[in-house]
Structure 1
Amino acid sequence: MRKTLLALLLAASVTPAFAQDKTFELKLSHWVPASHPLQKALEDWGSAVEKESGGTIKYKVFPAQQLGKAFDHYDMARDGIADVTYVNPGYQPGRFPIIGAGELPFLMSDAKGGSMALDSWYRKYAEKEMKDVKFCLGFIHSPSTFHSRTKKIVVPDDIKGMKIRPAHATMANFVTLLGGTNVQSSAPEVRDIIERGVADAVTFPWGSVLLFGIDKVTKYHIEAPLYVTTFAFVMNKDKYAQMSDRQKKAIDNNCNTEAAGRVGEPWGKYENAGVDKIKALPDHEVYRLTPDQIALWKKASEPLVKTWSDNVKKTGADPDAAMKELRAELTKNNALAQ
């Protein structure tokens, strides 16, 4: 009797049109704290898929590296350790060279528009570059900057001799180009490496400086939009293949450019709000650069474009065409940096 009642209750929770479909519970994995805006973004994503699947696709979010390390999240989706994962392609230098265009300094100006532009542009390249998984969507956080414990960073020459934790492969190349030393770590480890003196500074978005406690170990902050970081949601191909056409449509309706904007926008607002919060902290110096100083940074970053271009050529893609397409998408979405 109890089993019959339970079966009736379960059946009632599924939309009739999906009644014959197998039920799935997706494991959605990320590596930042549950208090990070990405947690809600993944919950909202899962909730939208559940609704559109008539309740046959359920989900659970696993934050804070519960299922695996930050650097492993692409392979975790490939191997089925998780079903949908949050990936920073720049954590694995050389593996995803094309999407690295989004990491180039002074290119993007807005989280929502930049996310939609990146996603729309990258889809055709993802079919090859991320072929081990189902690419769901790409997005960025707000333009970000250097945060230092030891000294003010004003011009590129100031990086010489410093130990920097870079956000991704492109910023790592930049640090090397400027005579600094890279200290690799995932975002959750940044506070510790600066506190122990392993690193002097970090490239990081503003709101996350507070979230990860990096404000406790830094003092100087450049108020300039130097770079962004590209991210992706990717899905296990086998899990997607097991779904019905109706269920696949529920996934696809939330793996598109519009969904990329929905992920990028609130996170962007969260990070932007961190600027004023850090300005209000005692013993912190937030400072702007002069136009001449900005010009020096732009000039110093020019070799990064060539490095990106050379890496893209190795994949068989045309870097000039790819960059032209990306800039056009950024212009269309009002997110091209001036």
Structure 2
Amino acid sequence: MVRHRVTGLRTKPAGRITLTSLAANHPIDVAPDTISETPMNPTRRHLLSAAGALATGSLVSPSQAQSTPLVKVATFVPEQSVGVAKVIKPWMLATQQEVGTRARFQGFWGGSLGKDAFKQFDLVRTGVADVAWVLPGYHGRQFEDMQLFELPFLFENATEAALVGWHLCEKKMLRGIEDVHLVGFFATEVSNLWMANPIKSLDELKGKKIRSVGAVHAEWLKVMGASAETMDSPEMNEGLQRRTLDGVIQSWSGMRTFKTLPLVRQNQLAPIGVIPFLLLMNRKTFDGLPKDVQDAVMKHGGTTLARGAGEAYEGVGQEIRATVEKDAKIQLAELAASDKARYAQQAQAVHKWWIQKSPNGEKIYAEAVAQLKKIRG
């Protein structure tokens, strides 16, 4: 199945507008000259309307707005971010194309409905936003079960993490989303260990100061004999510059976003968890939509969104890695199979720690591992 991943418009010499699909490099062509007194093909009408509205965030023409229910889709990050440009906007476009004038989806990017990353769940729960991109890690105990995805040496890529997350939510095993409607679960590419100065192996982490994100990473660093340092991104960069910090745990996309790549000399390519994301809809909003609109929302959400988002984040990670390899300023240290197995075994202490401290942790973990086996074949 082709998933249309729309990032923008480019004009071809023949005067045709192409919506570039990131899935299978499959273009959707829309001919502007179909706008005439001659009746327009319905499919092309919807495509053209959606394409023309991308610039303003609205996916229905102004003439339809008065009589169409508005679904406000909010993010605290700008529309150029990976999650918006390559996950949320394509979901909006695909859904809008299917429902036509039955609902109107409009993006409110960059915090226009609320800039505080720590309050996005409240925005969607209370209905300030109808849909919001929520980072579980920013919402304390609301999503404690989702620390599962930060466990080192469990997930190998963004796609399998997203599919496992969706599966667990469908089985109602992850707490925190009872009062809202889950449209999609997705994740970043795996985080790695980035060092200011190269080390020969992860065994040399003993005594090093490493910036961590959350309790799970801190526990893993403790197991490895390192000291976990909790700090925000500006403090992280300052620590690397001043050499008061020896390394950081971060994804490829995170390293580029926070401009941290020039401050490190090595990437230890160990899979140290992923960052999970939720695309949530206000419960009342979802329940109030016509059944066919609900079906379209979920047809393009769920596993479709999980796979598409996984491809997007993995693609961005590969793109950044290719640039790093070409520049040859950062050493990429691959783990030998035997070393990876040994470190994964050491990480089991962190897995057991999480299971023991988490209500229903044993069942959640067992289900996640079983689902991973199915995905990996």
Q: TM-score range by the shorter chain?
A: 0.7 to 0.9
The correspondence of residues 42-191 of structure 1 with structure 2, limited to 5 A, is: 42-55=88-101, 56-63=103-110, 67-125=114-172, 128-152=175-199, 154-166=201-213, 168-177=214-223, 178-185=225-232, 191=237
1:322 equivalent in structure 2? 364
Q: In structure 2, how many angstroms separate the alpha carbons of the residues matched to 1:197 and 1:95?
A: 35
Cα 1:230–1:68, aligned 2, differ >3 Å: closer, same or farther? same
Query: Any idea what the Cα deviations from partners look like across 1:265-297, whole Å, max 9, x if unmatched?
Result: 122121133223212224322222344543443
- Alpha-carbon distance in structure 2 between the residues aligned to 1:109 and 1:265: 13
Q: Does 1:227 align with 2:273?
A: yes
Query: CA offsets, 1:201-252, max 9 Å, x none?
Result: 2222224423432112222211233322222211222332333333323323
| Cα distance in 2 for residues equivalent to 1:329 and 1:204 | 25
Say whether 1:283 aligns with 2:341: no
Q: Deviations over 1:64-92 (max 9, x none)?
A: 78732333322332233433222232344
- Partner in structure 2 of residue 5 of structure 1: none
**Residue-by-residue CA offset, 1:140-179 (whole Å, 9 max, x unaligned):** 222230112245372245153404132x442233234434
Give the alignment's TM-score, normalised by structure 2. 0.72
Shift in CA distance, 305/127, structure 1 to aligned 2, threshold 3 Å: closer
Distance in 1 separating the partners of 2:127 and 2:182: 14
Do 1:142 and 1:268's aligned partners in 2 also have CA atoms closer than 8 Å? yes
Aligned-partner Cα distance in 1 for 2:111–2:206: 31
CA RMSD of aligned residues (A): 3.3
Change (3 A) 1:32 1:195: farther
Gaps of at least 5 residues in structure 1 are 1-11
Pair 1:303–1:21, CA change in 2 (3 A): farther
Letter of the structure 1 residue corresponding to residue 287 of structure 2:
A
CA–CA distance in 1 between the matches of 2:165 and 2:314? 15
Contact 2:208–2:246 at 8 Å: present in 1 too?
no
Q: Number of paired residues? A: 316
Q: CA deviation at 1:32?
A: 6.3
State the alpha-carbon separation in 2 of the partners of residues 20 and 66 from structure 1: 21
Give 2:32's aligned residue: none
**Contact residue 137 and residue 256 of structure 1 kept, 8 A:** yes
Residues 22 and 243 of structure 1 are in contact (CA less than 8 Å); yes or no, is this contact kept in structure 2? no
Preserved CA contact (<8 Å) 2:198 2:331: no
Gaps of 5+ in 2: 1-45, 50-59
Instruction: Tell me how far apart the structure 2 counterparts of residues 130 and 215 of structure 1 sit (CA, whole Å).
Output: 35
Does structure 1 residue 216 correspond to structure 2 residue 258? Answer: no
The equivalent of 2:356 in structure 1 is 310
Deviation, 1:117, is 2.7
For the 8 Å contact 1:34–1:63, the answer to whether it is kept is: no
Q: Which moved more, 1:65-74 or 1:298-307?
A: 65-74
TM-score (norm 1): 0.79
CA spacing shift, 1:208–1:242, aligned 2, 3 Å: same
SS in 1 for 2:182: strand
Q: Cα–Cα, structure 1 residues 265 and 64, in superposed 2: closer, same or farther, change >3 Å?
A: farther
Give every structure 1 segment of 4 or more consecutive aligned residues whose post-TM-superposition deviation is greater than 6 Å.
12-15, 18-21
Per-residue deviation at 1:255? 2.9
Which structure would you say has the larger Rg? 2
What displacement does 1:188 show?
Answer: 8.1
* 1:333 aligned onto 2:370: no
Counterpart position of 1:8: none
The answer as to whether partners of 1:207 and 1:273 remain within 8 angstroms in 2 is no
1:22 to partner: Cα distance: 4.1
